[in-house]
Chains A and B, each alone.
Chain A
Amino acid sequence: MPKLEHPLTRGIYESREDGRVQVTEDGKTGVFDLDGRWHSGELRQADPHMILWVGGAAAGGGMLSAGAPMRGGTPRPNVPPKLKTTSRRRGGMDADPHSTGRSSEMDLGLDGKKALVTAATRGIGLAIAQELADAGVDVAICARSAGGLESAKKDLEARGVKVYTAVADVGDGDAIRGFVQAAGEALGGLDIVVCNASGGSAMGDAGWQGNFDVDLMGSARAVEAATPLLSDSDAGAIVFISSTAALEFLGVPQPYNAIKAALIAHAADLSQALASRGIRVNTVSPGPIFFEGGNWEMIKNAMPAIYDRALGQCAIGRMGTPEEVARAVTFLASPAASLITGANLVVDGGFTKRVAY
């Protein structure tokens, strides 16, 4: 029940179960109705606006909820594995001097494929493009500004694949459709589409619109435009990037959460509808992912309580890295995942608690 301190008198105003407000000031107590009329006790005069405020909060809910208590416990030493990042050039063996000619590792079958990744100049998007490029996949990437695309292009070309870049606002229907077309032309076809762009986590109508336009419509339109190209592939694959925010309540309802959930449902539908065309559709739902310049770094600096709470919820004791998400996406996008379609792969280090049947 809401309980406030009067800034001038330092009296405590407390709302009660019966809808009245109890005021304690200088050791005396009084009970008041919401309109300020005294009901009982020794204190007979209290600030009616404080009564209105505290009582109103009880009726209409508090301004902000304090959230779940912080979970304690020392993070277990869990470090992301260092896996081979040598780029596998076209032809397979050349780049690996220790190769015996026969790989004992799983062959993902990605060499020579062509992929499109939206919003791929930083964070998870860039890591996905890098992982695909290392596997020998030509990539087409887009972003809203040219600066990031320049450096991403250099980075990806150095991995030995063809790279097509374009400035495109994924929230603009013409732009995303145009980008898919142009990417298909530039790369000579498309086998893989990864829908990673997000409109952020604003609130209110603008937030809803932003997430609707970028996360949902951006993905739906990219799929529509890419389907004819993917049908021509012998291993068409689409991966949507959703989020654990769609799966469990984080403390604040956000348009982002609901729209990310919509993506999971849409991917499941698409997986049935496009199966006959040889196109698989899956979703990856990352939990909290920490990287330089990302949201969780900013939250760690500005709001350590929120950061610590989220960190505490990660069963493995640390947040994820973009590379770990990229590997999951790459696997699902690859011919090695040929039987997997309509799945939602949660990549969260045990952040969510539900059993994912």
Chain B
Amino acid sequence: MSTAERAPELPRSSGISYQQLLDTDTHPVPKILREESPPSLPPTFVPIERYVTQEYHDLEMKMLWSRVWQFACREEEIPEVGDHVVYDIGDFTILVARDEKGQINAFHNVCRHRGRQLREYGGRVSEFRCPFHRWTWNLDGTLKEIPCRWDFPHVDRDANRLPSVRVGTWGGFVFINLDPDCQPLEDFLGDLSRHFEKWPLENKYKAAHVARVMGCNWKVAQEAFMEAYHVVATHPQLMASIGDANSQYDVWENFSRAITPNGTPSPHLNWQPTQQEQLDNLTGRNVDGPPLMQLPDGMGARELMAQAARMQMQAVVPGIHEISDAELNDSFYYSVFPNFHPWAAFNRIVYRFRPLGNDPNKSLMECLYLEPFRGKRPKPAEITWLTEEDDWTAATELGFLARVFNQDTFNLPKVQKGLRARHAAGGGTVPLANYEEAKIRHFYHLYEKWMGLST
């Protein structure tokens, strides 16, 4: 997968390329959209046991989750001294808190006496006090008080501070790493800041946060959101105005990017929608309904949708009238290894996927909306927790995207069932598309390194 070698280019869709689409923009486009780093061969085959066995889950806990940078929360969720959140992964439970100096620290969230979990949920406190025997720690993790101290001459104060966990911040997110010898977060993220330079995530606020239990492995869930190939069957209603098969995929060191344009017809269609038909598709018009917006002569759907977006956002985003059609129409979805998926430009989405407890057949999917704001920073949204039985539309804050998620979720438990069935029948591998599933290929390339599976 090295991009240093000039490997032969992989075959692509016959539809218009994203770079050609950028050439038609009515505004100058950001340089970062012109940078490419396409995937190369050899093809990737993923052994099915990675998705369905306890063995792989346990190996991931040992080799991945206990060593890799993962985001625990947003900085804006812990603005004041004493604010804290609890982040759980597998058996680990981590406390992320802001101390009196305003610094963010993270610790293992366990009392050093008889092991009770210290905090069960976030909030604001002045100290961390165990509800069992009242052992107390300061906000910086140093030991403050043991009732009946005289009974513990064998307990050393310094040795019984809350064990630290490494903390790093990027784009308004607080990351933790359970490996004290890990490389710094900035090194791990590499060039990522340059990609988000124009649309810094730290300048947005968390307007929505929905978490839902999924009936499948965290990787099965995550991979459904790392490619546009599935639109043809899973979101067919979008096809008159989405560049699914001709999306652009790029892979870098620890992150990758997919770009799926809207306001351009799918290469799968055997008919050519007019610009008006594409606009109608983008605005969800019914077959026999009147058009919501009529395109003036010579104006395309992409241009009009961008104009409407500029009008909407002018009160909140300075310089909105210089922003390109591309940034206002298209989906730029990044994946940062292993499980962090921030979207760029003006799309609000951030995804996170985690195993649920220690069950390889269940996971937690989260969707955050990050939005620009003017003046005082609004309070970040509370998390809406959905169970496996809940429809995504129960979280009204997601808007129409909830119905799109329903379509993805319709498939996922059946994927898990099918993979388990194949595994029971002797196993096998999942062959990934060379180009369109490049982000998933790139994930496994890194996964194998971290898990000690590469040869």
Q: Is B313 an interface residue (CB 8 A)?
A: yes
A66 touches B371 (CB 8 A): no
A290: shortest Cβ distance to chain B, in Å? 16
Nearest B-chain residue to A36, judged by Cβ? B410
**Across the interface, which residues of A come within 8 angstroms of B237, CB to CB?**
4, 6-7, 49-50, 53-54
Within 8 A of B (CB), among A4-60: 4-8, 10, 12, 47-50, 52-54, 56-57, 59-60
B383: shortest Cβ distance to chain A, in Å? 16
A47, A62, A201: the one within 8 Å of B286 (CB):
A62
**Across the interface, which residues of B come within 8 angstroms of A301, CB to CB?**
296
Q: A3-B286, A3-B287, A62-B286 are in contact. Are A8 and B239 (CB under 8 A)?
A: yes
Q: Is A273 an interface residue (CB 8 A)?
A: no
B268 touches A210 (CB 8 A): no
A66 touches B296 (CB 8 A): no
A7 CA to B205 CA in the complex, in Å? 37
- Interface SS of B by simple majority: loop
B313 touches A202 (CB 8 A): yes
A7, A200, A201, A306: the one within 8 Å of B293 (CB):
A306
Q: Is A99 an interface residue (CB 8 A)?
A: no
B236, B291, B312: the one within 8 Å of A7 (CB):
B236
B198: shortest Cβ distance to chain A, in Å? 19
**Across the interface, which residues of B come within 8 angstroms of A213, CB to CB?**
374-375
A206 touches B234 (CB 8 A): no
A47 CA to B371 CA in the complex, in Å? 34
A4 CA to B268 CA in the complex, in Å? 18
B371 touches A206 (CB 8 A): yes
A329: shortest Cβ distance to chain B, in Å? 23
B239 touches A210 (CB 8 A): no
B264: shortest Cβ distance to chain A, in Å? 13
Q: Is A298 an interface residue (CB 8 A)?
A: yes
A10 CA to B239 CA in the complex, in Å? 11
Nearest B-chain residue to A15, judged by Cβ? B286
A172 touches B375 (CB 8 A): yes
Count of A-B contacts judged by CB separation below 8 Å: 140
Within 8 A of A (CB), among B231-284: 232-237, 239-240, 266, 268-271, 273, 281, 283-284
Q: Is A83 an interface residue (CB 8 A)?
A: no
Q: Is A80 an interface residue (CB 8 A)?
A: no
- Which of B8-16, B359-367, B400-408 is the interface stretch? B400-408
Q: Is B153 an interface residue (CB 8 A)?
A: no
Chain B: interface size category: 35 or more
Nearest B-chain residue to A60, judged by Cβ? B393
Q: A7-B266, A209-B375, A304-B296 are in contact. Are A12 and B311 (CB under 8 A)?
A: no
A172 CA to B268 CA in the complex, in Å? 52
**Across the interface, which residues of B come within 8 angstroms of A172, CB to CB?**
375
Nearest A-chain residue to B237, judged by Cβ? A53
CB 8 Å contact bits of B394-425 with A (1 = contact, 0 = none)? 00000010110011001000000000000000
A269 CA to B293 CA in the complex, in Å? 40
Nearest B-chain residue to A69, judged by Cβ? B290
Q: Is B453 an interface residue (CB 8 A)?
A: no
A203 CA to B317 CA in the complex, in Å? 13
Q: A4-B287, A7-B269, A295-B311 are in contact. Are A205 and B296 (CB under 8 A)?
A: no
**Across the interface, which residues of B come within 8 angstroms of A50, CB to CB?**
236-237
Q: Is B307 an interface residue (CB 8 A)?
A: yes
Q: A7-B236, A202-B316, A207-B315 are in contact. Are A303 and B293 (CB under 8 A)?
A: yes
A209 CA to B308 CA in the complex, in Å? 20
A53 touches B407 (CB 8 A): yes
Nearest A-chain residue to B372, judged by Cβ? A206
Nearest B-chain residue to A209, judged by Cβ? B378
A64 touches B269 (CB 8 A): no
Q: Is A188 an interface residue (CB 8 A)?
A: no
Within 8 A of A (CB), among B372-394: 372-376, 378, 393
A209 touches B290 (CB 8 A): no
A4, A69, A206, A298: the one within 8 Å of B378 (CB):
A206
B296 touches A3 (CB 8 A): no
B240, B270, B281, B294: the one within 8 Å of A305 (CB):
B294
Q: Is A2 an interface residue (CB 8 A)?
A: yes
Which of A64, A67, A201 neighbours the largest number of chain B CB atoms within 10 Å of its CB?
A: A64
Q: Is B314 an interface residue (CB 8 A)?
A: yes
A220: shortest Cβ distance to chain B, in Å? 16
A289: shortest Cβ distance to chain B, in Å? 16
Q: Is B289 an interface residue (CB 8 A)?
A: yes
**Across the interface, which residues of B come within 8 angstroms of A304, CB to CB?**
294, 296
Other A-B contacts than A295-B311, A305-B293, 8 sampled, CB-CB below 8 A, are A7-B268, A59-B393, A205-B373, A205-B378, A207-B316, A210-B374, A303-B308, A304-B294
Question: Which A residues lie at the B interface, using CB under 8 A?
Answer: 2-8, 10, 12, 47-50, 52-54, 56-57, 59-60, 62-64, 66-67, 69, 171-172, 199-207, 209-210, 213, 295, 298, 301-306
Cross-chain pairs A/B with CB under 8 angstroms, 14 sampled: A4-B287, A7-B268, A8-B268, A49-B237, A62-B284, A171-B375, A202-B312, A206-B315, A206-B372, A209-B373, A298-B311, A302-B304, A303-B308, A304-B296
